[in-house]
Amino acid sequence: MMRILGLLFLCLFSVTSIFAQDDAQTFRNFQFSFSRVSQAYMKYNDTLNQLFEKKGLAYPPHQIYLRSFKSNNELELWARNDDTSAYTHVKTYRVCALSGILGPKRFEGDRQVPEGLYFIDDFNPKSDFYLSLLLSYPNYSDMVLGDKKKPGGDIYIHGGCVTVGCLPLTDAFIQELYVLCLNAKINGQNYIPVHIYPTRFDRQGLNFLGRNYNDDLIKQHFWVNLKKGYDYFEKTHKLLPVMYAPDGRYVF
């Protein structure tokens, strides 16, 4: 009986693996059918390979992580070789435009760049802004704490250096980042985390928030909650699972 169950498990595992491989190949073929993607790959893949090699990281990457700081106009790229190791900082991209002010996005049309814990939800090879990566906004926290009927959406990391609530890069940077994320997904990373903070929660950043948002208790409480995840990563260079409390707080 145990042998039969073992054989059934192996068969199911094999079928699942085949479907996963087929899905990755279908995704790859679709993406590379667009000239913008294939041209970006030809232009930047070797450069990325060399960059990762210098950092002692495997390429294509096993896992990558993106972390953005709105007040600093920065988007950090981190990577690691396996599920248990710490992340290594690879590169920082310049976010070339920003709309709204510091604080989370709470409703459609507020022009705010979201703040919180997201992942890349889709790859758009025919974007109006060259190439774009859709973020998983709104998440559960946003739905609880923001407008429940019209929280907004369509938040991307994209090219073009223009924005109304997104994270824009230059066309050159979005090509490089798109190729990297594409490789990570094809290599098995279905959920690429993207964490967006108002600023670094170091002494300088906290002093800035204290001076400029001291009377905004709603934002202060939200940032205190976010800081727990930030502090954990700063200490360990690892990520905690994203979980939520019923009231919309992140649970770390």
Q: Tell me the pLDDT tens digit for each residue of 20-35.
A: 455 889 999 999 999 9
For residue 88, list its beta bridge partners: 79
Distance CA 212, CA 28 (A): 46
Distance CA 239, CA 241 (A): 7
- Give the model's pLDDT for residue 6: 42
Q: Tell which wins on pLDDT, 14 or 209.
A: 209
Domain 32-241 annotated CATH 2.60.40.180: no
pLDDT digits (tens, 9 = 90+) for 225-240: 999 999 999 999 999 9
pLDDT digits (tens, 9 = 90+) for 81-93: 999 999 999 999 9
In this prediction the pTM is 0.90
Q: Which two tokens stand for residue 56?
A: 């002692």
State the pLDDT confidence band at 188, using cuts at 50, 70 and 90. very high
The DSSP 8-state label assigned to residue 55 in this structure reads T
Q: What does the mean pLDDT of the chain come to? A: 91
∠ CA 223-227-232, nearest 5°, is 165
Say yes or no to pLDDT of 1 above 80. Answer: no
Sheet holding 193-197, edge to edge: 88-94, 74-80, 63-69, 193-197, 116-127, 130-135, 156-158, 167-168
pLDDT digits (tens, 9 = 90+) for 99-152: 899 999 999 999 999 999 999 999 999 999 999 999 999 999 999 999 999 999
Enumerate the domain spans of the chain: 32-241
- Give the model's pLDDT for residue 22: 57
Among the listed residues 203, 242, 234, 226, the one whose alpha carbon sits nearest the alpha carbon of residue 104: 226
E strand segments, 5-143 = 63-69, 74-80, 88-94, 116-127, 130-135
Average the pLDDT over 197-225 and give the result: 96
